[in-house]
Structures are given as C-alpha cells and as structure tokens.
C-alpha cells in the first residue's frame, strides 16, 4: 500500500470515528430516556436496563453508521481542500478518481458492518430482547423484586414485599401483597409462598398460612377478614405487549426470503437498504465536500446531512408503503436505492472534471 493511501485512509478513518463518537454521545441520552421510560411503565424490568440499552444500540447502528461515514468523509475531504492539500495532489496527478482506492479501504468495512448489523445483529437483538423480557415476567427477582424491598406490580395495580427468597427465586418468605381492583383493595399476608407459572403466561403466588383483608377504597365499612391455610393470588401480567413468535421483526433474514406476506417483504427490504445507502453516501461525500480554500465548510455538511435525512425518511416511508400495499411488492425499495446509487456513481465520476468552454457566437457562426 502506498504512503499516500495510508495517509488518506488514516484521515478518513479518524474523521469518521470522531463523528461516530459525537453522534453516539448525542443519541445515548435519547436511548437511555426511552429505555428508562419503558422501565417506569413496567414494560422492561429494571435489572435489564443496561442490557436493553445495548440491544437498542445494536438496532440503531444501521441508521447511525451511514451518517457517520458521510459526515466523516466530508470533514476529511473538506480539510484537504481547506488546507490546499487537494490542489497539490491534483497537480501531481492524484485527483478524486485516484482517491477511490483509499475510500474503498475505509468505506467497504463500514458497509460490511452495517450489513452485519442490519441483516443479523439487529434481528438477533430484537429476539434477545423479547426473550429476556418474557423470561423476566416469569421470575420475580429478575423482574426487579429484591428481599426486603417494596416492588410495584406491573401496570401500577399494587405493590408486593418479600422478606426472603430462596436460591431458585421461587420459594418466598414473609410475603405482603397489596392489590387494587375496581373500587376495592386487597391486602394479603403470608409466612411462605411459591411462585408458579401456568400456560406460559399467567403467574400465581401460592401462599400458605396467612391473612387477607378486603375493603373499599373510599368511605364505607364493608371490610372482610379471612384467615387461610392456602391461597392462590394471581399476579397481573406485564403491560409490555407480547409479540408473536412469527412476527416479522423477530425472524432471521434468510427466513424472510420467499415469505409472501407484505410485512415480511417490507421487513426484508428495510434490512437490505442500510448497507446500500451507506455505499451511496460514501461515494457522494467526496464530490459534496469540494470547496474553495476560503469557503465555509459547514454549508456542505448541512447539505450532506439533508441528503442523508431525505434518504432515510424515504426508506422508512417506502417500508411502510410496502407493508400497507401502497407500493408493489416486486418494486420494493429499488425505486430509491438504484437511482441513489446511480446518482452517487455519476457525481463521483464527474467530480473535478473540467468543462469545455462554451463556444462564442463568432465561432458558432463559423
């Protein structure tokens, strides 16, 4: 590899990595707020906050990396123009066409990473997240319950307190359960209890040797006290929607090929689009970064960001249109990807080309 290629690859990679770090720092707050909101609503167990945050980032990478590549390359190439390095390179015969090799060395691994996240890691993260939440709904300790601490039940319908818990997380000691149903409350206490799951969904507490008090929420004297040797208390389900096992977002990419459902076709095209968009944005970055030595650099960055935003929104809208049947399934997202790739190749091929001067009127008459 030539020394010039190594220099350009280093410049491209450093700028892209810097932009990626900044974008991740900006987005980490939004992702954390979304996951924390799901935890507060009972959709995600509190103990899984960091794990769910990591899975969310895996699903976001196919949307973040194209932006990082485009802005990073534009910053690097724009610096070459601003510091008059590009005119020097052009004077020795190294034009934009000669930069294709170092550009490919930097951009193609990123395209491969986007394809890996979009086609495999993203669906895997969805399946893992659903599996973790489903497993947590069957286990009180994983769902956030700790001995000696009051824990709110899913949906805010009551609280539960456990004084002790066995190693298997199913044998409970000194149980206190407060529940609300309609306009009445139920307070149940027990010395021991066992957590059981029926029909892979319903959770019950099998309590032994305890008391239950039932009474009105407001004014009234209709109270009831019951002492029992055994009592079965059904715990409310998590309010997180349970996705079916055949949901298209949970299916591996290979299983989507040949699936005639519109949502499967839309999901497949939505996974194929990010790596192709990344390649198109990488090619566009070099001609878009062309500028005069004293020209402001941030105007070109704004244009690049708008192109990225326009392509991303069209991809999302096209996916929804395919799923809704507004676009032919055979057309997919090729109406967006192929023209965008052709435009990127044309812009890169004509970058730096010298136009012929227009003929004067006297020459035209001759």
pLDDT of residue 295: 65
Residue 187 lies in a domain: yes
Same domain, 154 and 224: yes
Same domain, 248 and 103: yes
pTM above 0.75, yes or no: no
Same domain, 119 and 15: yes
Q: How many CB atoms lie within 10 A of CB 108?
A: 13
Residue 91 lies in a domain: yes
Same domain, 176 and 286: no
Residue 185 lies in a domain: yes
Domain edge (last residue) among 214, 235, 256:
235
Gap between the Cα atoms of 299 and 278, Å rounded: 21
Looking at the structure of the chain, the number of domains it has is: 2
- Mean pLDDT, the chain, whole residue set: 80
- In terms of residue numbers, what domain contains 331? 3-136+244-349
State the pLDDT confidence band at 239, using cuts at 50, 70 and 90.
very low
Say if residue 157's pLDDT is above 60.
yes
Read off the pLDDT of residues 27-65 as tens digits, 9 standing for 90 and up. 877 777 777 777 666 566 666 777 888 888 888 889 999
Read off the pLDDT of residues 76-96 as tens digits, 9 standing for 90 and up. 888 888 877 777 777 777 766
Residue 360 lies in a domain: no
Q: Which of 137, 157, 159, 156 is nearest to 241 (CA)?
A: 137
Same domain, 194 and 254: no
Same domain, 20 and 103: yes
Residue 361 lies in a domain: no
Say if residue 316's pLDDT is above 50.
yes
User: pLDDT exceeding 90 applies to what percent of the chain?
Assistant: 19
Same domain, 336 and 280: yes
State the pLDDT confidence band at 141, using cuts at 50, 70 and 90.
very low
Chain centroid to CA 326: how far?
25
Domain edge (last residue) among 170, 203, 235:
235
Residue 144 lies in a domain: no
Say if residue 344's pLDDT is above 70.
yes
Same domain, 121 and 249: yes
State the pLDDT confidence band at 313, using cuts at 50, 70 and 90.
very high
Read off the pLDDT of residues 33-42 as tens digits, 9 standing for 90 and up. 777 777 666 5
């Amino acid at each position: 590899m030539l020394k010039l290629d190594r220099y350009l690859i280093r410049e491209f990679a450093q700028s892209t990595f810097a932009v990626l770090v900044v974008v991740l720092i900006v987005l980490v707050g939004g992702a954390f707020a979304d996951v924390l909101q799901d935890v507060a609503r009972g959709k995600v167990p509190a103990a899984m906050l960091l794990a769910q945050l990591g899975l969310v980032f895996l699903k976001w990478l196919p949307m973040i990396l194209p932006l990082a590549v485009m802005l990073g390359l534009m910053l690097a190439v724009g610096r070459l123009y601003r510091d008059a390095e590009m005119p020097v390179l052009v004077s020795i015969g190294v034009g934009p066409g000669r930069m294709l090799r170092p550009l490919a060395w930097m951009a193609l691994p990123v395209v491969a990473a986007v394809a890996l996240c979009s086609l495999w890691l993203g669906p895997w993260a969805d399946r893992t997240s659903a599996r973790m939440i489903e497993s947590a709904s069957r286990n009180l300790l994983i769902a956030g319950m700790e001995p000696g601490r009051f824990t709110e039940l899913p949906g805010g319908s009551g609280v539960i307190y456990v004084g002790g818990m066995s190693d298997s997380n199913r044998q409970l000691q000194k149980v206190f359960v407060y529940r609300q149903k309609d306009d009445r409350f139920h307070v149940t206490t027990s010395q021991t209890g066992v957590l059981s799951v029926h029909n892979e969904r319903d959770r019950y507490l099998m309590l032994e040797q305890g008391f239950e008090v039932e009474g009105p929420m407001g004014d009234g004297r209709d109270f009831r006290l019951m002492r029992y040797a055994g009592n079965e208390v059904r715990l409310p389900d998590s309010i997180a929607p349970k996705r079916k096992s055949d949901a298209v977002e949970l299916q591996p990419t290979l299983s989507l090929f040949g699936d005639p459902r519109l949502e499967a076709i839309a999901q497949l095209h939505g996974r194929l689009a990010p790596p192709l968009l990344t390649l198109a944005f990488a090619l566009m970055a070099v001609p878009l970064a062309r500028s005069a030595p004293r020209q402001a650099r941030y105007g070109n960055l704004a244009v690049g960001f708008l192109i990225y935003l326009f392509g991303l929104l069209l991809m999302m809208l096209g996916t929804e249109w395919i799923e809704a049947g507004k676009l032919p399934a055979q057309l997919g997202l090729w109406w967006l990807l192929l023209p965008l790739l052709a435009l990127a190749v044309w812009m890169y091929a004509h970058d730096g080309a010298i136009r012929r001067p227009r003929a004067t009127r006297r020459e035209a008459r001759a």
